[in-house]
């Protein structure tokens, strides 16, 4: 009976073209963004065009060296939760570095970015009695999950719509606890939120602000500390959350805030207390990566200049980048789940290009897309290869080019 229920659900996913299939990608250290799908000799390598290792830091020799050294010194695992035996000295170093980066008093490291959002929001919403949460409608699943695991009243505001947010805020008593949660860069559309305007509203209506900078840390701001830092307004955000799995190139999540907020999360968040801490080698690698990115600008400069060049190639070839994009994330509209999946397969098989199809429920039906991310390591030649391959694939599958579209996307 149980298998039947589950098989029925899986069948529905398959029928809708939403069933997820993993592509094996064996990344080749030192040759980023190249990978091999079969791990056999003389096999052609594949060019990865949709990695969240935005700056190639996972293969940076300084990061790898820090990880090697820590493994040799401390072994593979941490040995326990932070509270019970799993608290190596590197945590203090990393948390001080993160707090300093975001201009906050304290920071707290979690095993993943997902768990940092989930556990922190759950914790704060339980601690602030009668708290209301105002959440951007396009917030990430980790944020939604954290909110849903509490009884807090939740109002979704229209994406990046400060007028709607203000209307919702103004309907609540000034002294009722409130949190506004939003992201700086939205990962599927590549757009940037009006951080200053939201922070101003928070001040006016007595709300705390929680900003997810997962797709910005490492890449934006003078020292890579994110969009809020770049705007010089980190101080007007109460809690800045980030990941060390994307721009930083390793794994792990964190929140930074005042001493009191961090102490409360450390003391009350179930998802922090009752889980094994990250291995010391991971923490050492994260620390090395962040310290490196605080002073090295070359990676982010290359990322942004190459993004502009790739955009030009796409524009000239009629490959439709969605208008929402204001960042290094380039969503390319396909608009059909089955075509998107088939086109991705063809790109891999015929052109040795890996681009993951992004279908519903991750994005709305009709806006299925490829999410293209260039990195500092993609050459001009590879950009041209990608553009040419997309042109052929769009023609083959009858996917609309930008010049044949009647409305803006």
Ligand X SMILES: Cc1ncc(COP(=O)(O)O)c(C=O)c1O
Continuous H helices in 185-328: 195-204, 227-231, 259-268, 270-273, 280-295, 298-317
* Shortest distance (Å) from residue 111 CB to ligand X: 8
CB closer to ligand X out of 241 and 352? 241
Binding site for ligand X (CB under 6 A): 112-114, 117, 140, 142, 183, 187, 212, 214, 243, 245, 253
- Rounding to the nearest 10 degrees, give the CA dihedral for residues 216, 18, 370, 373: 30
Contact, 251 vs 283, CB < 8 A? no
Task: Give min distance, CB of 330 to ligand X, in A.
Answer: 16
Q: Under a CB-based contact definition with an 8 Å cutoff, are residues 227 and 221 in contact?
A: yes
To the nearest whole angstrom, how small is the minimum distance from the Cβ of residue 381 to ligand X? 29
Q: Which is nearer to ligand X, 118 or 336 (CB)?
A: 118
Phi-psi category of residue 221: left, alpha or beta, with phi > 0 → left and psi -120 to 50 → alpha = left
- By beta-carbon proximity to ligand X, the closer residue of 254 and 292 is 254
Q: How far is the CB of 262 from ligand X (least distance, A)?
A: 18
In the complex with ligand X, which residue's Cβ is closer, 122 or 243?
243
Q: How far apart are CA 238 and CA 42, in angstroms?
A: 52
Q: How many CB atoms are located within 10 Å of the residue 15 CB?
A: 9
**Which of 91, 114 has the CB closer to ligand X?**
114
**The 178-183 sheet, strands edge to edge:** 106-110, 253-257, 239-243, 208-212, 178-183, 132-136, 153-157
Minimal distance in Å, beta carbon 271 to ligand X?
Answer: 12
CB 240 within 8 A of CB 216: no
Radius of gyration of the chain (CA): 22
Residue of 303, 317, 315, 322 lying closest to 389 (CA atoms): 317
Separation between Cα atoms, residue 372 and residue 389, nearest integer Å: 13
Selecting among 246, 306, 339, 341, the annotated active-site residue is 246
Least distance in angstroms from the C-beta of 188 to ligand X: 8
Nearer to ligand X, 245 or 284 (CB): 245
Measured CA to CA, the distance from residue 116 to residue 243 in angstroms comes to 9
Cis status of the peptide bond prior to 33, with omega within 30 of 0? yes
Q: Which is it for the CA torsion 329, 187, 323, 221, positive or negative? A: negative
The beta-strand segments (E) located in 32-152 are 34-36, 46-48, 106-110, 132-136
Please choose, from the candidates 153, 243, 165, 148, the residue with its C-alpha nearest in 3D space to the C-alpha of residue 200. 165
Q: What share of the chain is helix, strand, coil (3-state, %, to 5)?
A: 45, 15, 40
Pairing of strands 329-333, 369-373: antiparallel
Of 320, 301, 314, nearest to 375 by C-alpha is 301
246 carries an active-site annotation: yes
Cβ proximity to ligand X: between 138 and 389 the closer is: 138
Minimal CB distance residue for ligand X:
113
| Side-chain half-sphere CA neighbours of 122 within 13 A | 19
For the bound state, the minimum distance from the C-beta of residue 303 to ligand X, rounded and expressed in Å, comes to: 17
CB of 184 to ligand X, least distance (A): 9
Instruction: Choose between 322 and 390: whose C-beta lies nearer to ligand X.
Output: 322
Active site residues: 246
């Amino acid at each position: 009976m149980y298998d039947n229920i589950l098989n029925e659900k899986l069948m529905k996913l398959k029928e809708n073209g939403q069933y997820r299939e993993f592509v094996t990608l064996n990344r080749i250290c030192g040759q980023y963004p190249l990978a091999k799908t079969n791990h056999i000799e003389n096999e052609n390598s594949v060019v990865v065009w949709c990695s969240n290792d935005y700056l190639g830091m996972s293969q940076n020799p300084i990061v790898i060296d820090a990880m090697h050294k820590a493994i040799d010194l401390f072994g593979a695992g941490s040995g326990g939760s932070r509270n019970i035996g799993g608290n190596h000295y590197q945590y203090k170093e990393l948390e001080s570095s993160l707090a300093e980066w975001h201009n906050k008093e304290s920071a707290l490291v979690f095993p993943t970015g997902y768990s940092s959002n989930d556990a922190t929001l759950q914790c704060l919403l339980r601690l602030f009695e009668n708290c209301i949460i105002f959440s951007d409608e396009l917030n990430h699943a980790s944020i939604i999950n954290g909110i849903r695991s509490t009884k807090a009243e939740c109002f979704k505001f229209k994406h990046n719509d400060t007028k709607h947010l203000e209307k919702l805020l103004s309907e609540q008593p000034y002294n009722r606890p409130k949190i506004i949660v939003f992201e700086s860069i939205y990962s599927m559309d590549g757009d940037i939120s009006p951080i200053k305007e939201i922070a101003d509203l928070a001040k006016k209506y007595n709300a705390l602000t929680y900003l997810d900078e997962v797709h910005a840390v490492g890449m934006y701001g003078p020292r890579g500390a994110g969009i809020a830092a770049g705007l010089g307004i980190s101080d007007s955000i109460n809690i800045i959350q980030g990941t060390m799995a994307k721009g930083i190139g390793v794994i792990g999540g964190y929140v930074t805030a005042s001493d009191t907020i961090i102490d409360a999360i450390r003391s009350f968040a179930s998802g922090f207390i009752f889980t094994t801490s990250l291995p010391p080698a991971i923490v050492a690698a994260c620390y090395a990566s962040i310290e490196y990115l605080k002073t090295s600008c070359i990676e982010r400069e290359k990322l942004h200049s190459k993004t502009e060049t790739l955009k030009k190639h796409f524009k000239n070839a009629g490959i439709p980048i969605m208008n929402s994009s204001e960042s290094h994330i380039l969503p390319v509209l396909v608009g059909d789940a089955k075509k998107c999946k088939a086109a991705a397969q063809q790109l891999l098989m015929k052109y040795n290009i890996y681009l993951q199809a992004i279908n519903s429920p991750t994005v709305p039906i009709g806006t299925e897309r490829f999410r293209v991310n260039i990195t500092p390591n993609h050459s001009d030649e590879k950009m041209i290869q990608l553009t040419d391959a997309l042109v052929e694939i769009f023609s083959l599958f009858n996917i609309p080019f930008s010049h044949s579209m009647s409305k803006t996307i």
